[in-house]
Amino acid sequence: MKRLREKFIGDKAFYKMLFSVALPIMIQNGITNFVSLLDNIMVGRLGTEQMSGVAIVNQLIFIFYLFMFGGLSGAGIFTAQYFGNKDDEGIRHTFRYKFWLGLIICIATAFIFLNFGESLIQLYLNGSSDGGDLAATLVYGKNYLLVILLMLPAVCIGMLYTSTLRECGETFIPMISGVAAVFVNLLFNYLLIYGKFGFPKLGVVGAAIATVLSRYVEMMIVIVWAFRHRDTHTYFNRAFNTLKVPLNLVKKFIVTGMPLLINEGLWSIGVAMLTQAYSIRGLNVVAGQNIASTINNIFNIVFIAQGDAVAIIVGRYLGAGDMKKARDTDNKIIAFSVLSSIAIGVIMFATSGLFPMLYNTNAQAKLIATHFIMVEAIIMPKDAFLHTSYFTIRAGGNTWITFLFDSVFMLLVSVPVAYIFSRYTSLDAALVFAVVHAFDIIKCVIGFVLVKKGVWMNNIVI
């Protein structure tokens, strides 16, 4: 027992260090997701069609977010290790590389959605019309999508700065900018969705405008802060003096980072395909899963933040060449993430029936949402382990392994299971959802072996 405590339980100094990194991320994500809940409720009170149309588009936009996250995180592995090695010029090179990659992703996203957006939305509207009007849902989704695309440049530049700051251990300012953004979003949602205080009543279009405004506010806060603090955060000095990145580094970033970009992109596409499989059961399932997903995002902020902490803290130790400290820290973060998720999952399960009552939708959609929330509560410890394991493997630059571990498993196992059970059985959507996640036990075993063997313990900046 003593050895287990020493291996998996840290001292006060360890948890102080962990929470100094993770707590600002938890606060930002917590406030962001809470306001997203309020945002979701505001749209949900317009009706099932409006809520479902917005939910479908947000599922598609989620693919853009994860392509951005994956692309920037690939170079971010180097940023964290350059920072641990005190190499400002290396950080500048990753910063410029991120800029070009983000620009390419934005242009590609805009092209796809402007040309194929309607067809993509319709993929989710081939099931039963129980609970609403499919044609109306399509119209609301298209209107929301056309406005939301205006936020792409702001998301790109905002993530460029916030990802770099986080990888260099500065999590407070990204938290402040994120908090400011969500309150701007909440305020303008209220004003523009319902037409309060003389503002026009725009419904789902108002919700989209509010989101766009909030992203530009977030971007401006972090840019201004970085400019004013470039004397202390010296890696921002001369960051845009040139946009050139040495070819040898571009090759290095691509070799390490491209699998991560592809992984995050394919994984998000896999999630969208899973959601589409569940939507075969009807519009009530689209609405119910949207409610459950929004609630789940609030409860999972603890283990999500600890995944980011693994990337930052363990990446820093790997860059400094302290492999023993990296392994010890990683064991303790994973253990804390799983244990805390058990406690949080119990609370989530006990309150699963309360949250759907906040929505202006029918009783069947609320019941489906409750069932999805129950399943999500039960599987939370599993998700916590997989999330921190993924970031552990990624911290050492083993992005090809994470590619196989994450998106390949999703596309070769999870998606086919969802397809078969949704189309060839009469199981409720929440039970199909549970079956899909039950297959993740295979992934947990693989993750455990990879973390224990230490395949991730690499310094990639020497």
**What confidence tens digit (pLDDT) does each residue in 212-250 have?**
999 999 999 999 998 888 877 878 887 778 888 788 888
* Sign of the dihedral through C-alpha 128, 131, 134, 138: negative
The CA distance from 359 to 291, in Å, is 8
DSSP class per residue in 221-283: HHHHHHHHTTTTSGGGTTTTS-----HHHHHHHHHHHHHHHHHHHHHHHHHHHHHHHHHTT-H
Please, are residues 260 and 74 in contact by the beta-carbon 8 Å criterion? yes
Give the residue from 224, 195, 220, 198 showing the smallest Cα distance to 210. 195
Task: Quote the pLDDT of residue 370.
Answer: 95
Q: Which carries the bigger pLDDT value, residue 372 or residue 294?
A: 372
Confidence tier at 330 by pLDDT (50, 70, 90): confident
* Sign of the dihedral through C-alpha 131, 136, 138, 143: negative
Instruction: Say which amino acid occupies 369.
Output: A
**What confidence tens digit (pLDDT) does each residue in 48-100 have?**
788 888 888 888 888 888 888 888 888 887 887 788 778 878 888 888 899 99
Rg of the chain in Å (alpha carbons): 22
Q: How many residues does the chain have?
A: 462
Give the residue from 233, 221, 78, 88 showing the smallest Cα distance to 170. 233
Confidence tier at 346 by pLDDT (50, 70, 90): very high
pTM score above 0.75:
no
Q: For tokens 């470039």, name the residue.
A: 230
Would you say residue 461 has pLDDT above 70? no
Task: Report residue 436 as tokens.
Answer: 């899909």
Please, are residues 235 and 168 in contact by the beta-carbon 8 Å criterion? yes
Give the residue from 293, 273, 284, 269 showing the smallest Cα distance to 127. 284
The CA distance from 127 to 285, in Å, is 10
Task: Quote the pLDDT of residue 128.
Answer: 53
Task: Quote the pLDDT of residue 132.
Answer: 62
**What confidence tens digit (pLDDT) does each residue in 32-41 have?**
677 667 777 7
